[in-house]
Each structure stands twice: as structure tokens, then as C-alpha cells.
């Protein structure tokens, strides 16, 4: 029997339109984790898409110096491997929910800046960025720049894990993440399809039963995230 310590996410807040200069913006909070997210439109596409009538989305992720317990250095000249991996995950996840042909030859630039890091910064970024994209798309449609929404799926993301006592936890905070034996990030659509699953046993390998329960916890938590997103975007 697999024991569950927490089967729902921490307190979720999406505060929209916090940046007056961005096409779409949101402050996303999961527990104490806070990420400032903007979506900005550029009227151009990368060279490999020019003349194809198709848009693009790219994402950048950054941890502010005082976001963690000890001040981190700004990544000025070179982006670190962890940062690259996270921003690629954010970009992949968001492109999976868009029909980029409906965006026209435009690029959606997503910037996720972590203000406070208490676990789940990448999943908070993805869930919040969906809201920022939704707000940006609404503005484009209101301005008559696009006729139909390019959003084809709703996405959300959450972390799940197994602690040292073998108990499963949804939406890990920093303390829980640091001590857990398994850490998994799950990105899903509202239709229950997986965009990405990143799961690693840091110490003791996890069982097939634990994997199944972790995915159920992720689905339950992401359904709650969808409700919070809906409350902002409707």
C-alpha cells in the first residue's frame, strides 16, 4: 500500500496584468514560490520560419539573486546548464498547446523570473506562463491582429515525489524536494495527455505502483491548477 502525505498542490495564486508593458503578464505563486512571468509579442520570427506564415514561441528562465537562501550570481555572460534545461522545458510545454500557424509570423517571447524559490519553480513557470499566453492572445484578438485563438490545449504542471519514509507528496516545497528520494515533474493537458514527464530516483528506486500513484496525484493537482487558470482567463 502506498501512503500519501499530501495529494493537492500548495496555495495557488495567479495575479494577472501586473506588468503594463507586456502583452500578457502574471505573478504566479505556488506556496511561497513566486515567479514573475511576461509574454511579449515580436513582429518577426526566427530565420528558419521566415516566409512560412507560421509563428514561434521561445522562453527564458532566470533566478533572481535573492530568490534562494543564499544569494546567487546573475548569469550575465553564459547561461548555466540547469537554466538552459528549464527554459527549454518551458518552451516545449507551451508550444505543445499552440497552433503556431494561427499566430502569423510573430514570436511570443516568454520570460519567467523567479522572485522567491521554494520548490517547483519550473512547474510554477509553466502553469503561470499558460495564463500569460492566454492574456496575450486575448489582447491580439481584441486588437484584430489575429482572428482565431492559436491555443489548442490547456496545460498545467506540478512536481510530485517520494520522501525518505516512502510517502508521496504533491507539489514539493524546497525542504521536501531536498530530502525526497524521488522527484518528478509532470506537464499535462486538460484532456489528460502528457506533454512531458521528468522523473528521477535520487536514492531508492521507485516502484511501478508508486509511479502510478504519482501520476494520479499529478493529475488531481493539475486539475486544480486548471480551475485557478480558468478563474483568471474567463
Nearest Cα to 6, choosing from 202, 165, 200, 207?
165
Query: Would you call 71 exposed, middle or buried from its count of C-beta atoms within 10 A (0-12, 13-18, 19+)?
Result: exposed
CATH number of the domain residue 150 falls in: 3.30.230.70
Please name the residue that has the C-alpha cell 502569423: 104
Q: What is the pTM of this model?
A: 0.93
Nearest Cα to 131, choosing from 105, 156, 108?
156
Least confident of 9-13, 72-76, 153-157, 230-234: 72-76
Split into its structural domains, the chain has a count of 1
Span 59-113, pLDDT tens digits: 999 987 767 777 777 766 677 788 889 999 999 999 999 999 999 999 999 999 9
Span 185-205, pLDDT tens digits: 999 999 999 999 999 998 889
Please name the residue that has the C-alpha cell 518528478: 184
Please name the residue that has the C-alpha cell 514560490: 33
Structural domain for 69, as ranges: 4-233
Torsion of CA 66, 67, 71, 77, to 10 degrees: -100
* Rounded Cα–Cα distance for residues 22 and 159 (Å): 28
pLDDT at residue number 1: 57
pLDDT at residue number 197: 95
Nearest Cα to 124, choosing from 81, 174, 78, 166?
174
Span 20-35, pLDDT tens digits: 999 999 999 999 999 9
Amino acid at each position: 500500500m502506498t501512503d500519501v502525505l499530501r495529494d493537492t498542490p500548495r496555495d495557488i495564486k495567479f495575479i494577472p496584468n501586473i506588468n503594463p508593458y507586456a502583452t500578457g503578464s502574471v505573478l504566479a505563486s505556488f506556496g511561497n514560490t513566486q515567479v514573475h512571468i511576461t509574454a511579449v509579442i515580436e513582429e518577426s520570427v526566427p530565420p528558419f520560419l521566415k516566409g512560412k506564415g507560421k509563428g514561434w514561441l521561445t522562453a527564458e528562465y532566470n533566478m533572481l539573486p535573492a530568490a534562494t537562501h543564499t544569494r546567487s550570481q546573475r548569469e550575465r555572460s553564459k547561461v548555466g546548464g540547469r537554466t538552459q534545461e528549464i527554459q527549454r522545458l518551458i518552451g516545449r510545454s507551451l508550444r505543445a498547446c499552440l497552433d503556431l500557424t494561427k499566430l502569423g509570423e510573430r514570436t511570443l517571447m516568454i520570460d519567467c523570473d523567479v522572485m522567491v524559490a521554494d520548490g517547483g519553480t519550473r512547474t510554477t513557470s509553466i502553469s503561470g506562463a499558460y495564463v500569460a499566453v492566454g492574456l496575450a492572445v486575448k489582447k491580439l484578438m481584441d486588437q484584430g491582429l489575429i482572428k482565431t485563438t492559436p491555443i489548442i490545449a490547456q496545460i498545467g504542471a506540478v512536481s510530485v515525489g517520494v520522501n525518505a519514509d516512502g510517502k508521496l507528496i504533491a507539489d514539493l516545497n524546497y525542504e521536501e524536494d531536498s530530502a525526497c528520494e524521488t522527484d518528478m515533474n509532470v506537464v499535462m493537458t486538460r484532456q489528460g495527455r502528457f506533454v512531458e514527464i521528468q522523473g528521477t530516483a535520487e536514492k531508492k528506486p521507485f516502484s511501478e505502483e508508486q509511479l502510478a500513484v504519482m501520476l494520479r496525484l499529478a493529475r488531481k493537482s493539475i486539475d486544480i491548477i486548471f480551475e485557478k487558470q480558468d478563474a483568471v482567463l474567463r
